[in-house]
């Protein structure tokens, strides 16, 4: 079964908007700019973020972001806003002029798990003795 072709911006008829065809990407997550991690302690906070469900971290143009994959509680089944007339200012200011309708992102860096951020920090700092507890010694029977 073939997936239907996505309508392009240039194909919109007068009176139509991208929202008529969109899956409401902009209402299914939010991201917040976070300080670039410079210390092991910073990375430990990032590990904590990623221990929470539906949280990821991405880097784009050397800027770091916490991305929370969560749907707006007012998004309706038809991908329309249930509080459109009283929606927050951030939603009112948002336009489809440069929205993510056609985008499928590839980030510079993308972290989905605490283990991934830990591995990245280990590679960056080489000595992570202040980042986590040391490994226990192996009990070797001789």
State residue 128's pLDDT score. 52
Find out whether 81 and 74 touch, Cβ atoms under 8 Å: yes
State residue 8's pLDDT score. 81
User: For residue 120, which of 53, 40, 49, 63 has the smallest C-alpha distance?
Assistant: 40
State residue 91's pLDDT score. 93
Q: Say how far apart CA 95 and CA 98 lie, in whole Å.
A: 7
State residue 60's pLDDT score. 93
State residue 4's pLDDT score. 67
State residue 129's pLDDT score. 52
Tens-digit pLDDT string for the chain (142 aa): 666 677 887 888 888 888 888 889 899 999 999 999 999 899 999 999 999 999 999 999 999 999 999 999 999 999 999 999 999 999 999 888 878 877 777 799 999 999 999 999 988 877 555 555 556 677 666 5
In 10 A of CB 118, how many CB atoms?
19
Q: Which residues pair with 63 in a beta bridge?
A: 60
Tell me the DSSP string of 68-127: E----TTB-TTS-BTTGGG--HHHHH--STT-STT-----SEEE-SHHHHHHHHHHHHS-
SS3 assignment, position 20 = helix
State residue 124's pLDDT score. 84
State residue 133's pLDDT score. 54
State residue 73's pLDDT score. 97
State residue 87's pLDDT score. 96
């Amino acid at each position: 079964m073939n997936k239907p072709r996505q309508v392009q911006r240039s194909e919109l008829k007068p009176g139509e908007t991208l929202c008529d065809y969109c899956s409401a990407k902009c209402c299914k997550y939010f991201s917040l700019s976070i300080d670039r991690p410079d210390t092991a302690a910073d990375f430990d906070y990032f590990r904590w973020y990623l221990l929470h469900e539906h949280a990821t971290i991405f880097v784009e143009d050397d800027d770091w972001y916490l991305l929370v994959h969560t749907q707006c509680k007012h998004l309706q089944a038809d991908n329309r806003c249930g509080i459109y007339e009283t929606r927050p200012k951030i939603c009112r200011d948002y336009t489809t002029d440069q929205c993510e309708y056609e985008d499928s992102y590839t980030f510079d860096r993308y972290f989905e798990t605490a283990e991934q951020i830990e591995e990245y920090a280990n590679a960056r700092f080489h000595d992570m003795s202040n980042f986590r507890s040391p490994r226990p010694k192996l009990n070797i029977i001789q």
